[in-house]
């Protein structure tokens, strides 16, 4: 039920899944994040995190690199390959500068990393910055390139003018604007916009992307929904 999940994500407190095997660090971060207003879920292994992620999704993941069993990097890589979790923002905790260097060069799908030892304050600043960057709104408002979505009122305005979108086009635009620049393939779009339990042909995605472009066209905004050759579609900000 991708739709319900996304609705929850915009209206509730931001949730962080913290995957760290060292109890002291976990407790400290849980305390600091809770005080900063986040809801915190905990896992002490990658395997436990993967089980938790089968259900409701958090808004962001904090993953320790060194975990018993599957490493944090392997976990991040697997999450990126699964359409259900592919777009979750990830901050990696690393122990040494050497690991940080590897992270930079290694395409692990990590959005940001923090080198240990770090202050909880620094980490929370990074969490907030990343949530802002991926556009997870605290007030149910999404804004980019002159397009403004009020997710609570279910309204879209473009350069201040209200416009009507069908429910599927609305969800498509919401997903795109939540992840500017990121390319989604058709299977990912089906999973996130239509939900896992619904059977829809991939061709249907193209039909609704076309409708979304058509709705944006009178405002000169259709070019923001870009075709990525051999992949699918993405939102290209100004």
Q: Does 99 bind Ca ion (CB under 5 A)?
A: no
Query: Contact 9/136 with Cβ under 8 angstroms?
Result: yes
- Beta carbon of residue 20, minimum distance to Ca ion (angstroms, whole number): 6
User: Coil, strand, or helix at residue 130?
Assistant: helix
Q: Where are the alpha helices (DSSP H) in 44-119?
A: 46-52, 72-81, 97-105
Q: Which stretch binds Ca ion (CB under 5 A): 13-21, 79-87, 182-190, 221-229?
A: 13-21
Transcribe 169-216 into DSSP letters: HHHHHHHHHHSTT--EEHHHHIIIII-TT----HHHHHHHHHHHHHHH
Closer residue to Ca ion in complex, CB, 65/233: 65
Nearest by Cα to 216 from 170, 167, 152: 170
Minimum Å distance from CB 22 to Ca ion? 5
Among positions 3, 8, 21, 28, the unique one binding Ca ion when judged by CB under 5 A: 21
Q: What are phi and psi for residue 112, nearest 5 degrees?
A: -160, 165
Which residues contact residue 172 at a Cβ distance below 8 angstroms, ignoring those fewer than 6 apart?
189, 193, 208, 209, 212
Nearest distance, CB of residue 35 and Ca ion, angstroms: 23
Q: How many residues bind Ca ion (CB under 5 A)?
A: 3
- Contact positions with Ca ion (CB under 5 A) in 53-92: 64, 66
7 or 66: CB nearest Ca ion = 66
CB of 66 to Ca ion, least distance (A): 4
* Residue nearest Ca ion, CB atom distance: 66
Question: Chain-centre distance of CA 103, in angstroms?
Answer: 19
Give the binding range for Ca ion (CB under 5 A) out of 9-17, 21-29, 171-179, 219-227: 21-29
Chain positions contacting Ca ion, by CB under 5 A: 21, 64, 66
């Amino acid at each position: 039920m991708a739709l319900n999940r996304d609705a929850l994500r915009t209206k509730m407190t931001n949730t962080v899944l913290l995957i760290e095997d060292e109890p002291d660090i976990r407790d400290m971060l849980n305390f600091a994040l809770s005080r900063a207003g986040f809801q915190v879920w905990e896992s002490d292994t990658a395997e436990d995190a993967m089980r938790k992620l089968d259900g409701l999704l958090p808004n962001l993941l904090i993953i320790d690199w060194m975990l018993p069993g599957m490493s944090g990097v392997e976990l991040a890589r697997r999450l990126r390959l699964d359409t259900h979790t592919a777009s979750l923002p990830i901050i990696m905790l690393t122990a040494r500068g050497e690991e940080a260097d590897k992270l930079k060069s290694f395409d692990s799908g990590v959005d940001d990393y923090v080198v240990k030892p770090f202050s909880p304050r620094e980490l929370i600043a990074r969490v907030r910055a990343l949530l802002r960057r991926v556009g997870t709104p605290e007030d149910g408002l999404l804004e980019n390139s002159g397009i403004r979505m009020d997710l609570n009122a279910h309204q879209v305005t473009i350069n201040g003018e209200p416009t009507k979108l069908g429910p599927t086009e609305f969800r498509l635009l919401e997903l795109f604007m939540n992840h500017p620049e990121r390319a989604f393939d058709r299977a990912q779009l089906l999973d996130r916009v239509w939900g896992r339990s619904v059977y829809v042909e991939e061709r249907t995605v193209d039909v609704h992307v076309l409708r979304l472009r058509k709705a944006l066209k009178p405002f000169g905004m259709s070019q923001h929904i870009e075709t990525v050759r051999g992949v699918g579609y993405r939102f290209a900000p100004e």
